[in-house]
């Protein structure tokens, strides 16, 4: 089952409006197989878009981007890089802010986040920074033009993760979370001369 | 999107009977969000069991073990280790046999298998060998007592993978399959002295 470390949830957030990126703090969230109940990203399936370029635009695929997660420490690093006092999880449209998990954005796919009231999330991968979020950050600091463009670089490898629900439950601010890394794997691409590769 | 390599499907199999481990060859399979249509492992959710010891027995969790996959080359290695002429994918209850993917069982979680008629499977992880399958192998070679027990060792890191459906479609024998590895990640456990770990 691999090694694990421990963090804690700082806040849980919901974005109820389909067209509004910003999320808001909740005292708790119910977690179903669809995601955070009431959040605009909840659903068992989703239509492929720019975030899932491996599929044709509009193809119906499993929703592996149900819950977005950011890190308190990484938000502080983004703020520092931008020269602003703070960057809030809500501005990034995050559903969950965790503290105490080093280099959260680098957690590999398949990492499990296990919460005390049953909920378990599985990491799909990094949530890549976009200018849309950057514009939200900029709107809070209009005195700093160009923040939207600078956000993408400042948030590189710090913008957090997307994940999906493996087990339903409840998540609250202050919950301890166990972070279970998948077993270490040492798969590397075979050399081109490998006959299994050159004659598939 | 990471690097990728290419293999091909050798056979597709269904296990329609709830209590019979053995699967049988099909000319094609329909793939839904639940798994291989008609297979006993299909379903959006499953009850946690000995295969998912991180959850309490019986807890309802996402079914990440919809489709089991083995490799032609690894089956040959198992047969060689056991000293039998062949080990069939059907004996292992596999749903899919692939050839041309080196060290299939070592593919990391999050690896995607992309088929020409839309179906996409995501690797959950290694399917650990058990004696139950060993007994099936032994039943085909009663002249070799002890095969059931020896199977577990012979199949170590060769018994294939379990996976879930990201995109529905159809899979047929002879299909080319693209194997997309997840982006390389270099996450390692922080030293114990890391304050973020010691004061979660």
pLDDT at B71 over 90: yes
Q: Which residues of chain A have pLDDT under 70?
A: 1-3, 185-186, 189-200
According to CATH, the topology of domain A4-183 is M1 Pyruvate Kinase; Domain 3 (2.40.33)
pLDDT tens profile B10-40: 999 999 998 888 999 999 999 999 999 999 9
- How close, in Å, is residue A108 to chain B by CA atoms? 6
CA B162 to each of CA A181, A186, B124: distance values in angstroms, whole numbers, following the listed order? 18, 18, 6
Question: Tell me, what's the pLDDT at B199?
Answer: 40
Question: Tell me, what's the pLDDT at B143?
Answer: 87
The one-character DSSP state at B105 is: G
Residues 128-157 of A with CB under 8 A from B: none
- How close, in Å, is residue A150 to chain B by CA atoms? 24
Every domain of chain B and the residues it spans: 4-183
pLDDT at B196 over 50: no
pLDDT tens profile B109-132: 999 999 999 999 999 999 987 778
For CA atoms B127, B129, B132, B137, the dihedral sign is: positive
Question: Tell me, what's the pLDDT at B3?
Answer: 62
User: Contact at 8 Å (CB) between A12 and A29?
Assistant: yes
Question: Tell me, what's the pLDDT at B190?
Answer: 60
Q: At what angle do helices B147-154 and B131-140 cross, to 10 degrees?
A: 120
Residues 69-108 of A with CB under 8 A from B: 73, 99-103, 106-108
DSSP codes of every residue in A76-144:
HHHHHHHT-S---GGGGT-SEEEES-TTGGGPPTT-EEE-TBS-EEEEEEE----HHHHHHHHHT-TTS
Question: In chain A, which residues have their Cβ closer than 8 Å to the Cβ of B73?
Answer: 196
Mean pLDDT for chain B overall: 90
Under an 8 A CB cutoff, do B33 and A44 touch?
A: yes
Question: Tell me, what's the pLDDT at A145?
Answer: 83
Task: Give mean pLDDT, residues B83-87.
Answer: 93
Q: 3-class SS at B38?
A: coil
CA A105 to each of CA A127, A129, B187: distance values in angstroms, whole numbers, following the listed order? 8, 11, 10
Under an 8 A CB cutoff, do A110 and B125 touch?
A: yes
């Amino acid at each position: 089952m691999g090694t694990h470390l421990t963090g804690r949830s700082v806040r849980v957030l919901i974005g109820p409006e389909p067209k509004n990126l910003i999320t808001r703090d909740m005292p708790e969230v119910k977690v179903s197989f669809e995601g955070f109940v009431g959040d605009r990203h909840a659903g068992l399936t989703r239509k492929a878009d720019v975030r899932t370029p491996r599929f044709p635009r509009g193809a119906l695929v499993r929703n592996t981007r149900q819950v977005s997660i950011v890190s308190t420490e990484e938000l502080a690093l983004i703020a520092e890089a931008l020269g602003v006092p703070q960057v809030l999880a809500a501005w990034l449209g995050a559903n969950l802010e965790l503290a105490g998990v080093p280099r959260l954005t680098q957690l590999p796919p398949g990492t499990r986040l296990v919460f005390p009231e049953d909920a378990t999330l599985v990491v799909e991968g990094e949530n890549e920074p976009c200018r849309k979020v950057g514009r939200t950050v900029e709107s809070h600091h209009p005195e700093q033009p160009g923040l939207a463009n600078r956000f993408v670089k400042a948030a590189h490898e710090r913008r957090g993760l997307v994940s999906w629900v493996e087990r339903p439950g409840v998540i609250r601010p202050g919950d301890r979370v166990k972070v279970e890394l998948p077993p270490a794997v040492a798969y590397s691409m075979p050399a081109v001369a490998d006959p299994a590769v050159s004659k598939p």
